[in-house]
Amino acid sequence: MISLKDGSLIALNKLKSLRAGLVKAERPAKPEPPRAKSAAGLTAGAALPRVPRTRATPSSLRPKLVLASASPRRLALLEQVGITPDALRPATIDESVTKGEVPRHIVRRLARAKAEAALKLIRSEKDYAKAFILAADTVVAVGRRVLGKAELEHEAGDALRLLRGRAHRVHTAVCLLTPDGRWREHVVETRIRFRNLSNEEIGAYLASGEWKGKAGGYAIQGIAGSFVVKLIGSYTNVVGLPLTEVVGMLQGEGFPVSELWISKAEVEIE
């Protein structure tokens, strides 16, 4: 037989158990700690969204590009930005300067003449009938005096003695002929100042042979880079082809420059 005291204790314990169960049921579930997110705002561990990949235009469908130059520097500059011409069609033209002609007019006239000469060369070539033609010409000028390409050592020496310790300008004209017969032209100017070179330095530079065939008798991408005190404008313009302007002209006429970059990446991955 259970006494009254024992029965009361049993009832009290059952009541405590019941209350504990009710309190537990009323407590809200503890929230799950937030999962870390990446810088892109994606939850860690979550599947990344599938990004459609842009496919480059097959080379067989791209427009052709003909470079009207035999300059290894211009070719190297184009390849630096992922553009490899489909053909080189340099032409021999009369590059003599008319007396009183200003540098900007000289380079524009000669660049167009080079493009026209290249056009004549490819007219009979079926593969390049609808090609872009790119031509350029560069001169160095001190005031209105134009320094052409140095072919002889004394020409380079005279040019360097004139340029030392003073400022000069490099003008490059870029001419682009589109497949539908439209002409685009742009002249870029860069200002440069040389330090005061000694006669010994000039003699040593002439002995290096780097000056041969260079406008103004020097190549800024070589030893002559150490002559420059100040440069304002495009560096690649001084080398022979202003890349910013060339890429802008090609893209503006629909030549797929950026797709060539994609193609380059795909080749490297494969």
Of 201-210, 222-231, 257-266, give the lowest mean pLDDT range. 257-266
The structure's pTM equals 0.74
Residue 145's nearest CA partner among 212, 202, 216 is: 216
41 — alpha (psi -120 to 50), left (phi > 0) or beta? Answer: left
What crossing angle do the helices spanning 243-252 and 257-269 adopt, rounded to 10°? 100
For residue 197, give every residue at least 6 positions away whose Cβ sits within 8 Å of its Cβ, in sequence order, or none. 160, 164, 165, 205, 227
| Both structure tokens of 2 | 């259970």
Report, as residue numbers or ranges, the catalytic residues. 137
The DSSP secondary-structure symbol of 166 reads S
| Residue percentage of the chain with pLDDT more than 90 | 63
Q: Please, which residues have CB within 8 angstroms of residue 148's CB and are 6 or more apart in sequence?
A: 95, 97, 139, 215
Q: Is the pLDDT of residue 240 over 60?
A: yes
Tokens of 223: 């030893």
pLDDT of residue 62: 82
Dist CA 65 CA 79 (whole Å): 12
d(CA 74, CA 95): 18
Q: Partners of 270 in the beta sheet?
A: none
pLDDT tens digits, one per residue of 101-150: 999 999 999 999 999 999 999 988 888 988 999 999 999 999 889 998 99
